Amino acid sequence: MKNLKNECVILGVIFLLCLSCLISFVHLEINYIDPDFKEEILPKLNNQNINITTPENKTYTEPMSGYYPSTYGFENDKNGNVPVGWTDYSHDGCGTKVISELDGHKKVLELWDKNNSGYSKIYNNFLPQTSGTIEWWWQQSSGGVASHVIIGDGPTLRWSINNQLQYDDLSGTSHTIILVNPNQWYHHKIVFNCSNNSFDWYIDGVLQADNAKFRYKRSALSFFRLNTWYTHRDYSFYIDAVGYSWDSNYNIGNNTEEGLFLNFISNVELNWIGYSLDTQEEITIMGNTTIPLPDYGTHSIQVFGNDSVGINYWSDIRIFTIGDAKTPTIIINSPVSNDLFGQTTPDYSVRITDNIGVNTMWYDLNGGTNFLFEDNGTFSSTEWGNMPNGTVTITFYANDNAGNVASKSVIVRKDIEAPTIVINSPISIDSFGETTPHYTVTITDSSGVNTMWYTLNEGENNIFISNGTIDATEWSELENGDVIITFYARDNADNTASKSVTVKKGYVSPWPILIIVAIIASLSVGIIIAAMIMHRRPPKKGQIIPEKPREIFPQEATPDEVQKVEITTSFCPMCGTKISDKEKFCSNCGTEL
Mean pLDDT of 520-549: 58
Residues 104 and 245 in one domain: yes
- Contacts of 402-405 with CB under 8 Å at 24 or more apart are 402/296, 402/323, 402/324, 402/356, 403/359, 404/324, 404/326, 404/327, 404/328, 404/354, 405/327, 405/328
User: Would you say residue 332 has pLDDT above 50?
Assistant: yes
User: Would you say residue 22 has pLDDT above 50?
Assistant: no
Q: How confident is the model at residue 53 (pLDDT cuts 50, 70, 90)?
A: very high
Residues 396 and 335 in one domain: yes
Mean pLDDT of 418-443: 93
Helix (H, G, I), strand (E, B) or coil at 446: coil
Evaluate the omega torsion of the peptide bond into residue 294 and state whether it is cis, within 30 degrees of 0. no
Helix (H, G, I), strand (E, B) or coil at 9: helix
Q: How confident is the model at residue 466 (pLDDT cuts 50, 70, 90)?
A: very high
Of the three residues 505, 527, 556, the one that is the final residue of a domain is 505
Mean pLDDT of 206-228: 97
Q: Which domain holds residue 459?
A: 420-505
Evaluate the omega torsion of the peptide bond into residue 419 and state whether it is cis, within 30 degrees of 0. no
380 part of a folded domain: yes
Find the range with the poorest average confidence among 127-136, 470-479, 519-528: 519-528
pLDDT: which is higher, 434 or 456: 456
Mean pLDDT of 242-269: 96
User: Would you say residue 440 has pLDDT above 90?
Assistant: yes
Residues 95 and 205 in one domain: yes
What residues does 108 pair with on adjacent strands? Answer: 99
CB 217 within 8 A of CB 49: no
We report the CATH number of the domain holding residue 471 as 2.60.40.10
Q: How large is the C-alpha radius of gyration of the chain?
A: 52
User: Would you say residue 178 has pLDDT above 90?
Assistant: yes
Residues 501 and 527 in one domain: no
Cα 528 from Cα 521, distance rounded (Å): 11
Q: What is the pLDDT of residue 339?
A: 93
User: Would you say residue 237 has pLDDT above 70?
Assistant: yes
Residues 239 and 103 in one domain: yes
591 part of a folded domain: no
SS (HEC) of 498-517: EEEEEEEECCCCCHHHHHHH
Q: How confident is the model at residue 220 (pLDDT cuts 50, 70, 90)?
A: very high
Instruction: Kindly tell me the number of DSSP H helices and DSSP E strands found in the chain.
Output: 6, 41
Of the three residues 414, 431, 447, the one that is the final residue of a domain is 414
18 part of a folded domain: no
Number of domains in the chain: 5
Residues 447 and 484 in one domain: yes
Q: What is the pLDDT of residue 13?
A: 47
Evaluate the omega torsion of the peptide bond into residue 512 and state whether it is cis, within 30 degrees of 0. no
479 part of a folded domain: yes
Q: What is the pLDDT of residue 559?
A: 47
Strands 377-378 and 390-400: unpaired
Of the three residues 386, 414, 442, the one that is the final residue of a domain is 414
Mean pLDDT of 114-120: 94
385 part of a folded domain: yes
Residues 307 and 353 in one domain: no
Residues 548 and 575 in one domain: yes
Mean pLDDT of 22-39: 37
Residues 555 and 482 in one domain: no
100 part of a folded domain: yes
Q: What is the pLDDT of residue 563?
A: 44
User: Would you say residue 554 has pLDDT above 90?
Assistant: no
130 part of a folded domain: yes
CA distances from 547 to 269, 361, 505, 523, 588 (A): 156, 119, 65, 34, 10
Cα 521 from Cα 533, distance rounded (Å): 19
Mean pLDDT of 15-21: 50
User: Would you say residue 574 has pLDDT above 70?
Assistant: no
Helix (H, G, I), strand (E, B) or coil at 42: coil
Residues 349 and 406 in one domain: yes
Half-sphere exposure of 457 (CA within 13 A, CB side): 13
User: Would you say residue 538 has pLDDT above 50?
Assistant: yes
Residues 443 and 534 in one domain: no
CB 295 within 8 A of CB 322: yes
Residues 100 and 233 in one domain: yes
CB 240 within 8 A of CB 108: yes
CB 349 within 8 A of CB 87: no
SS (HEC) of 199-264: EEEEECCEEEEEEEECCCCCCCEEEEEEEECCCCCCEEEEEEEEEECCCCCCCCCHHHCCCEEEEE
Q: What is the pLDDT of residue 296?
A: 86
With pLDDT > 70 as the criterion, what percentage of the chain qualifies? 79
User: Would you say residue 54 has pLDDT above 80?
Assistant: yes
Q: What is the pLDDT of residue 593?
A: 65
Q: What is the pLDDT of residue 257?
A: 93
402 part of a folded domain: yes
Q: Is the pTM above the cut of 0.75?
A: no
Q: What is the pLDDT of residue 536?
A: 53
Cα 251 from Cα 289, distance rounded (Å): 15
We report the CATH number of the domain holding residue 204 as 2.60.120.560
* Average pLDDT taken over every residue of the chain: 86
